[in-house]
Amino acid sequence: MHGPSTTAPPTAALPPVMLATAETEESGALTKARAFAEPLISCELLDTGENILAHADAVAQILANMGGSVAMQAATYLVYTCPHLNKAEEVIAKAFGLPMAQLATQTNQLVHLQRLSRAAETQSTGPDNTPLSPQVQTENVRKMLLAFSRDLRVVMLRLASRLQTLRHYAATKRMAPPALASESLQVFAPLANRLGIWQIKWELEDLSFRFLEPATYKSIALLLDAKRTERERNMHELRERLCQALAAQGIRAQVDGRPKHIYSIVRKMRGKSLTFDRVFDIRALRVVVPEVADCYQVLSWVHEHFAPIAEEFDDYIAKPKANGYQSLHTVVRDADGGPIEVQIRTQAMHNHAENGVAAHWAYKEAGAKGYAGVSANSAYDTKIAVLRQLLAWERDLSDAVQGSGHGTSLFDDRIYVLTPDAAVVELPQGATAIDFAYTVHTHLGHRCRGAKVDGVMVPLNTPLANGQTVEITAIKEGGPSRDWLNPELGFLASPRARAKVRAWFNAQVSEETIAKGREAVEKSLQRLGRTAVRLEDLASQLGFKSADSLFEVVGKDEFSLRNIEVLLNPPEPALEPDDYFQKKFKGSASRKSPSGVLVVGVDSLLTQLSRCCKPAPPDAIGGFVTRGKGVSIHRQDCSNFRQLASRHVERVIDVRWGVAQGAEGSVYPVDVSVEAMDRQGLLRDISEVFAKEKMNVIGVQTQSVKGTAWMTFTVEIGDAARLNKVLSSVRAVKGVRAARRR
C-alpha cells in the first residue's frame, strides 16, 4: 500500500540555509500571486454572490490545511485572473512559470465548463421534453472532472473551491441551489472519499445534506445538542483515564473525541433502520499512536476494560479500504451500557485518513527524476495509486467498468468536449469535429461541412482537446466524403463514426442497384402486358420478403427475369390420364411423337408425358392407355402408375425412349423439392446453382412455415442422369436440409 509518507517533507533533506531560502521563495510566490490577482478580482463576485478574492483566500487556506503545496495555493488566485487576461497562459507563464500557468488555465477551463453546463441543464430537456434528470446532470459533472484528472491538482482545487462555496452559503444563512447541493453530495463528496480526504468528505456531506433536507438536518442537530454537556463530560473522563493507562504502559498517545457528522448518523439510521439512541458512534474517541504494534496494544486495553460488541469490530490495518484507509474500529459499552466507538491508528494512518492523496503532491512535482527524498519510482507508484482511486470512483458512480481494466486507460483514451449548449460529449483521444458530429447525430455527421472550435474555424481533420466547445456547420442535404475514410488524412478517429460513413456509401450503392433492378422488372412486366401486377405481391410469390429485395438481386444479375415470365404465364398443363384408347391413330401415317417416346409394336400413337412424375430420359418408363388422350407416359416407380396398372392391367403397354431423346435441344421438365432453413437470399442462392449448371428454371413455388422453407423448382433437363450432380450442389447451399427429385 502506498500510504502517506512518514518521512519528513522533501525540503527536510536540504541544508538549513537552502531550506530557509526555499521557504522564502515559496512564501514569496504565494504573496506575488495574490498581489498579481488582487487588482483584477478584488471587486468581482462569483455567481454565488461571494467576493472572488475572499473566495480565493479561503480556498488557499483549505489547501494549506490539507498539506497542498504553495504552488497550488498560488494557483487559487491565478485561476480567476484568466478571464481578465489576453493569452492568459502566456502571461502567467512569464511571471510564474509554465507549470503554474497550465495549472491555472486548466482549472479555469473546468470552472468555465461547469458553469456553462449547469446553466444549460436548468433549461435543457430530454427526448420527451421533460427536464434532465439529476442522474444525467451528475454524469455530466463526473465526465468533466474525469476529463481533467490527468493533473490531480486541478481536481483538488475544484474540491476545495466547492467546499468554500457551501461554507459561504452556510455562513450567509442562505440556501444553496438544490442542483449545486446535490452535485456536491453525489459527485464531489464520493470523489473526496475515494481520494481519502476525509476532512473534506465529511464537511461536503454535512453541508450538502443541510441544504437538501434542512428539517432532518435540524432535528438530528438538536438531538446531538440535547445531551452535549453530559456527553462531553463523560468523554473527557474517558480520555483522561485512557491517556493515563497508556502512559503507564509507556505508549505515547494522542486521544481526542472524534467529531460526529450528521449525514453519517442519518445514513446509519436509514440504512439499518435504527433510532437515534441506537446509533453506536454518537460518542467516539480517536487514539493516535506512533507504531502499528501500539495500535493493537491500545485495542487490547480497551477490550479488557470495556465490554466489546463483537460484530462492530473492523481491522482496516490488516485489510485496508480500497482508498488506502487504515485504522482499527471497535465499539464497546461503558459501565452504564452506553456504546462508545474507538478508532485506533498511527500518525501516518491519521495523516492519510485526513488528507488522503493530498499528502502526495510529490508525484506531480517530482517528475521523472524525483527530488529530495522522493524517488521517481515512488512518485510513479503514487500516481498509479491515485489514478486507480479515480477509476474506482468513476465505477462507483456509473455502476459499470469502462475501459480495459488498466489503471490509466480511462484517462488516456478519452476526451470530453462541449456542444454549443454546453452538453458534454465523450470522444476517443484524437477525435475530430467529424467524430463529434457523428456522436451528436448520424445525420449531422453526414451533412457536416465545417466546424468552429471555441469560436474559430478549423479544418475538419483537426484533433480536438479536452474542454473545447465545438460547433458544426452543416448543409441541408448531402452525404460524407470518401476522403473521410482515408486513414492517412486523419478525418476520423472513432470506429463508430467510420462505420456510419461506410454504411452511408453502402446504402448509396444498394439504392442504385435497387433502382436498376426495379427498372428491369417494370420493363419485363410491360413486355408481358402485366403492368397491373402489384410489385410487393410479385416479390412475395417469388419468395422475397419485399419488392426491394427482388429488385436488388435482379439489379445484381443474380435472378433471371425468365422466372417472372414463367410465374405470370405458366406453360400449358399436360393432359391427365384418361381410360380411352384412340384407335384412329392405328394405321395412320408414321410421325415422330412430340414426347420422344415410342410405343413398342405400334406406330404413330399419341403419347403424353405425365405431370405427376414428369419422366425424362433415361428413366425407366411405362405406358397407360387413357380414354381420348392417347398413351400417358409414367416413370415405372410412379405411385399413380402402379395404382392404375393394378386396377387396369390390360391398359398397360410397353414403351421406350425414341431417337428424339438424343436430339440436340430436347428438354424435359422435372420437379425438384427443397427443404431449407428460411433466410434472406435463399431463393437467389439456389437459383444460382441451377444457372451455373445451365438448367432453365421454368417454375417456382415456395412456402415458409415457422422458419422452414418448402420450395419446388420446375427445371428443364435433357438427361435425368445429370440431376443427381445438381442436387448435390443444391444440398451444399447454406441452410438447405434436403433436396430431391419429386
Same-domain check for residues 676 and 652: no
pLDDT, residue 696, reads 85
Residue 448, burial from CB neighbour count under 10 angstroms (0-12, 13-18, 19+): buried
Same-domain check for residues 68 and 187: yes
Flag whether 3 is in a domain: no
pLDDT, residue 3, reads 36
pLDDT, residue 434, reads 92
pLDDT, residue 457, reads 92
End position of a domain, from candidates 540, 568, 596: 568
Counting DSSP H helices and E strands in the chain, the numbers are 27, 21
pLDDT, residue 55, reads 92
SS3 634: strand
CB atoms within 10 A of CB 315: 15
pLDDT, residue 238, reads 82
Average pLDDT of the residues in 134-155? 62
Same-domain check for residues 194 and 254: no
pLDDT, residue 459, reads 92
Distance of alpha carbon 292 from alpha carbon 40, whole angstroms: 50
Rounded to 10 degrees, the C-alpha dihedral 70/72/78/83 comes to 180
CATH number for position 259: 3.30.460.10
| Residues 296 and 324: beta-carbon distance below 8 Å | no
Length of the chain in terms of residues written: 742
- The number of distinct structural domains making up the chain is 6
**Considering the chain, what percentage of its residues have pLDDT values greater than 70?**
72
| Residues 668 and 719: beta-carbon distance below 8 Å | no
Same-domain check for residues 128 and 67: yes
Q: Give 120's pLDDT tier (boundaries 50, 70, 90).
A: low
Flag whether 558 is in a domain: yes
Same-domain check for residues 563 and 509: yes
The Cα-based distances of 164 to 131, 167, 202, 604 in angstroms read 28, 5, 14, 115
The Cα-based distances of 577 to 394, 604, 641 in angstroms read 83, 18, 10
Domain residues for 520? 504-568
Distance of alpha carbon 736 from alpha carbon 473, whole angstroms: 52
Same-domain check for residues 540 and 613: no
Query: Above 60 in pLDDT, residue 715?
Result: yes
Q: Cis check for the bond before 618: say yes or no (omega within 30 of 0).
A: yes
Q: Give 138's pLDDT tier (boundaries 50, 70, 90).
A: low
Instruction: Choose between 476 and 398: higher pLDDT.
Output: 476
Same-domain check for residues 595 and 564: no
pLDDT, residue 57, reads 92
124-130, long-range: CB < 8 A, 24+ apart:
124/421, 124/423
**Mean residue pLDDT across the chain:** 75
Same-domain check for residues 19 and 39: yes
pLDDT, residue 164, reads 93
Cell of 706: 415457422
CATH number for position 76: 1.10.3210.10
End position of a domain, from candidates 634, 662, 690: 662
pLDDT in tens, 315-342: 999 888 866 788 999 988 877 777 888 8
Average pLDDT of the residues in 20-42? 73
Query: Above 70 in pLDDT, residue 404?
Result: no
Flag whether 169 is in a domain: yes
pLDDT in tens, 545-574: 888 888 888 887 778 888 887 777 765 444
Q: What is the DSSP letter of 672?
A: E
**Considering the chain, what percentage of its residues have pLDDT values greater than 90?**
8
Query: Above 50 in pLDDT, residue 114?
Result: yes
pLDDT, residue 75, reads 86
* Stated pTM of the model: 0.46
* Maximum distance among all Cα pairs of the chain, rounded to whole angstroms: 143
Of 425, 424, 390, residue with least CA distance to 410: 390
pLDDT in tens, 570-607: 654 444 444 333 343 343 333 445 555 666 555 556 77
Rounded to 10 degrees, the C-alpha dihedral 83/89/95/96 comes to 110
Give backbone dihedrals phi and psi of 574, rounded to 5 degrees, phi first: -70, 150
Alpha helices in 328-432 (DSSP H): 347-355, 362-366, 376-398, 409-412
| Residues 684 and 676: beta-carbon distance below 8 Å | no
Same-domain check for residues 53 and 200: yes
Q: What is the DSSP letter of 572?
A: P
pLDDT, residue 116, reads 65
pLDDT, residue 82, reads 86
